[in-house]
Amino acid sequence: MEIERFTWTEHARRRLAQRGLDAADVEQAIREGHAGREVNDGRAEWLVSGVLSDGTPFEAIYDHPHGTDDVAVRIVSVWRLDS
């Protein structure tokens, strides 16, 4: 199943701006990493890792499906994995 829609929480949008992340990179990482996602123990169901176009690694947590929509995800938060 392919992910077609993304809903961003207000918290996730704030973190995106605060941390200098690109929404398109995050959405692409979720699309590409969804099959290999990890269960998240916190405020969202799933955790996925990705790499920004500048090479910076990041992680995002999200819910899927979003409500009853099997092709939508709800992005809860995102952060850089700077060393």
Q: What is the pLDDT along the chain (83 residues), one digit of tens a residue?
A: 789 999 999 999 999 999 999 999 999 999 999 999 999 999 999 999 999 988 999 999 999 999 999 999 999 999 999 75
Query: Hey, what domains does the chain have and what are their CATH numbers?
Result: 5-80 (3.30.2310.20)
Name the strands in the sheet holding 72-80, side by side, starting at the edge strand that comes first in the sequence: 5-8, 72-80, 57-63, 46-51, 38-39
Q: How far apart are CA 37 and CA 21, in angstroms?
A: 20
Element (H, E) at 51: strand 46-51
Q: Residue holding tokens 């995800």?
A: 73
pTM beyond 0.95: no
Is omega for the bond preceding 65 within 30 degrees of 0, making it cis?
Answer: yes
Phi–psi pair at 64, nearest 5 degrees: -150, 130
